[in-house]
Amino acid sequence: MTAHPLTTLPAWQALAAHAAALREVHLRDLFATDPDRFARFSFTLGPLTADYSKQRITAETLGLLMELAHARHVEAGRTAMFAGTPINTTENRAALHVALRNRAERALNVNGTDVMPEVRAVRARMAEFAGLIREGKWLGATGKSIRHIVNIGIGGSHLGPMFVADALKDYQRADLSLAFVSNPDRAQIDEVLATLDPEATLFIVASKTFTTAETTFNAQVARAWITAKMGESAVAHHFAAISTNLKAAAAFGIAENAVFPMWDWVGGRYSVWSAIGLAIVIACGPEVFDQFLAGGEAMDRHFETAPLEQNLPVILAMIGVWHTDFLDARALAILPYDHRLKLLPAHLQQLDMESNGKCVMLDGTPITGSGPIIFGTGGSDGQHSFFQLLHQGPKPIPCDFIASLKGGDETSRDLLLGNMFAQSEALMKGRTAADLASTPPELQAHRSFSGNRSSTTLLLEELTPYTLGKLIALYEHKVFVQGTVWGVNSFDQWGVELGKELAKSLEPAVRGNTDALQDRDSSTAGLVAAYLRAKALHKASPGSKGA
């Protein structure tokens, strides 16, 4: 088999040899021989500190990783992104989400046109619209002020704003409720609608094309709910949209001044900074959203200008490359020890796995593996579920521990952070035979821990809109750097598109047209047939709940 061009680079070969030499070196020994290891392998950037001293690295490791980053032209890729070059090559689009949080008087161009005037105009419209609702001036069809906001979206139009709104719940207006709907299973939207006053509810339909199947289904459910209560004319009072399809939004009944645009140079998983964040602006206020943008912008400036060796997104990205390609660690656990960050793992799953879950490089050359499997949950819950695998499973899984140092009750935070620090220490140290001298020999193997398991700890001084923006942008740039090193397009998602196409082609079959199953495999045809039989039985005896 012919060697891949990436793996034949001198920097890659040097890292492979270095990994073999480090294989028998334990983190315990690295700390024992270097009392200043924390100072040497940690990075503070304003209110954000990253401790990567518990990673299986040395100064030589980082040096070699930076050589690889230079060899893979990370600086050039970074410049191209900020220049609005169409780095999304399979769709011939720029990936200029950094423009969404650019607050400086700086032009950012796509196809030779500065996009910032339009971005600023949309921001101003969002603030104005949010102000009308927050001040009780945007009225429902019966004259009531809007007090319930429901965001209807899917993917990045759902996960991003839902995560940020939940993280910033302390900043939300108490008299404005906020809900998010994504699932076409009627159970979700029915549960939400049951708690709302239709005369005081505004739905935000977040769909760039206004054709996304799940979103348009839920939007039609919401529309029927509104019109059944107040008639067709009520739609204009109770709906807004984020979409480029003005014609479809108008046909739905949404007023033109309640439609906010998106751009094709923004991917869904990077869109929370755009009008997709409208629900956040309404619930938390334009000033809070501006601070969120400011945090993202600060990370952008650092990423754009800092040398690779002093660049936090680059450092964390290259440590991730070290894990996946040289230490055979193909997963990453995201472990926030802050209840307000509980949805961060879900947001990062989409950001990372949809971006770098690819099998070919930009030139179409197969690649053996790229992005890791991302999973996680709140650290306290995780300790009592999957942490057992992290500590004693046969395959080490690197971890990102994340917490804020201030906020909430001090006693609870003492307990929380004490647990987080202890978990990263336990993963690093393990438990040796010497530690188990008083344990019966037959139990020692069960109670021993190998340790030598890597983790990074990210500490926010406090969870604020600014630090949240900085944290999200850090991960965005980390994913971009890794995609550049692996040579993949981090901004398309053709695998997702295939599922959508097949679902569309199956619609006639699941609605009863069995002729549409003729060219399907036996499994798909059998599953659809089972569903059709269940539908027929339900219609025959609608009151039956099954055996």
Report the distance separating Cα 8 and Cα 321, nearest Å.
16
From the candidates 105, 135, 247, 384, give the one annotated as an active-site residue.
Answer: 384
From the candidates 297, 354, 470, 476, give the one annotated as an active-site residue.
Answer: 354
Indicate if 485 and 503 belong to the same structural domain. Answer: no
The DSSP 8-state label assigned to residue 205 in this structure reads E
SS (H, E, C) 26-46: CHHHHHHHCCCHHHHCEEEEC
Instruction: Kindly report, residue by residue over 422-480, the tens digit of the pLDDT.
Output: 999 999 999 987 888 888 888 888 888 899 999 999 999 999 999 999 999 999 999 99
Last residue of a domain, one of 492, 507, 529: 492
Write out residues in the chain with pLDDT < 50, as ranges.
1-2, 546-547
Report the distance separating Cα 209 and Cα 244, nearest Å.
6
Indicate if 409 and 364 belong to the same structural domain. Answer: yes
**Concatenated DSSP letters of 208-244:** SSS--HHHHHHHHHHHHHHHHHH-GGGHHHHEEEE-S
**300 in any annotated domain:** no
Let me know if 410 is exposed, middle or buried by CB neighbors in 10 A (0-12, 13-18, 19+). Answer: exposed
Strands 109-110 and 113-114: antiparallel
Tokens 């239709």 found at:
198
Tokens 């709907």 found at:
181
Indicate if 32 and 145 belong to the same structural domain. Answer: no
Last residue of a domain, one of 254, 289, 324: 289
Report the distance separating Cα 363 and Cα 516, nearest Å.
36
Amino acid at 87: I
Indicate if 360 and 407 belong to the same structural domain. Answer: yes
Indicate if 347 and 408 belong to the same structural domain. Answer: yes
Q: What is the pLDDT of residue 546?
A: 46
**Cβ atoms of residues 275 and 205 within 8 Å:** no
Q: What is the pLDDT of residue 445?
A: 85
Indicate if 368 and 509 belong to the same structural domain. Answer: no
**468 in any annotated domain:** yes
Q: What is the pLDDT of residue 547?
A: 40
The strand pairing partners of 32, in sequence order, are none
User: Three-state DSSP class for 49?
Assistant: strand
Token pair of 370 as six digits? 């790229």
Report the distance separating Cα 517 and Cα 524, nearest Å.
8
**267 in any annotated domain:** yes
**Secondary structure element (H or E) that encloses residue 400, with its range:** strand 399-406
Q: What is the pLDDT of residue 545?
A: 55
Indicate if 280 and 199 belong to the same structural domain. Answer: yes
Indicate if 76 and 125 belong to the same structural domain. Answer: no
Count of alpha carbons within 13 angstroms of residue 343, beta-carbon side: 17
**7 in any annotated domain:** no
From the candidates 500, 504, 535, 538, give the one annotated as an active-site residue.
Answer: 500
Token pair of 415 as six digits? 């307990």
Distances (CA, A) of 512 to 184, 505, 531: 19, 13, 10
Domain span at 254:
109-289
The strand pairing partners of 366, in sequence order, are 360
Strands 239-242 and 201-206: parallel
Indicate if 125 and 65 belong to the same structural domain. Answer: no
User: Three-state DSSP class for 21?
Assistant: helix
**16 in any annotated domain:** no
Q: Provide the number of structural domains found in the chain.
A: 3
Residues with Cβ within 8 Å of 61's Cβ and at least 6 positions away in sequence, in order, are: 15, 18, 22, 322
**2 in any annotated domain:** no
Report the distance separating Cα 60 and Cα 326, nearest Å.
14
Annotation says 354 is catalytic: yes
Angle CA(78)–CA(80)–CA(86) in degrees, nearest 5?
130
Annotation says 208 is catalytic: no
User: Three-state DSSP class for 488?
Assistant: coil
Indicate if 129 and 57 belong to the same structural domain. Answer: no
**Cβ atoms of residues 338 and 403 within 8 Å:** yes
Show the DSSP H helices in 51-115 as ranges: 59-71, 74-82
**385 in any annotated domain:** yes
Token pair of 234 as six digits? 């009520």
Annotation says 384 is catalytic: yes
Distances (CA, A) of 347 to 374, 522, 545: 10, 35, 36
Output the pTM of the full model.
0.95
Strands (E), 232-317: 239-242, 259-260
**Concatenated DSSP letters of 129-170:** HHHHHHTT-SB-TTSPBP-EEEEE--THHHHHHHHHHHHTGG
Count of alpha carbons within 13 angstroms of residue 529, beta-carbon side: 10
Strands 148-152 and 113-114: unpaired
Count of alpha carbons within 13 angstroms of residue 240, beta-carbon side: 28
**Cβ atoms of residues 323 and 332 within 8 Å:** yes
Distances (CA, A) of 392 to 322, 425, 427, 449, 451: 21, 14, 9, 6, 8
Show the DSSP H helices in 351-464 as ranges: 355-356, 379-383, 387-392, 410-429, 441-447
Indicate if 322 and 423 belong to the same structural domain. Answer: yes
Report the distance separating Cα 425 and Cα 421, nearest Å.
6
Q: What is the pLDDT of residue 228?
A: 97
Indicate if 324 and 457 belong to the same structural domain. Answer: yes
Token pair of 181 as six digits? 């709907």
**1 in any annotated domain:** no
For residue 393, what is the domain's CATH number?
Answer: 3.40.50.10490
Count of alpha carbons within 13 angstroms of residue 24, beta-carbon side: 1
Report the distance separating Cα 79 and Cα 315, nearest Å.
18
Rama region for 25: left / alpha / beta (φ>0; ψ in -120 to 50; rest): beta
**Cβ atoms of residues 404 and 460 within 8 Å:** yes
Q: What is the pLDDT of residue 428?
A: 96
Q: What is the pLDDT of residue 3?
A: 57
Report the distance separating Cα 12 and Cα 16, nearest Å.
6
Report the distance separating Cα 16 and Cα 22, nearest Å.
10
Q: What is the pLDDT of residue 543?
A: 66
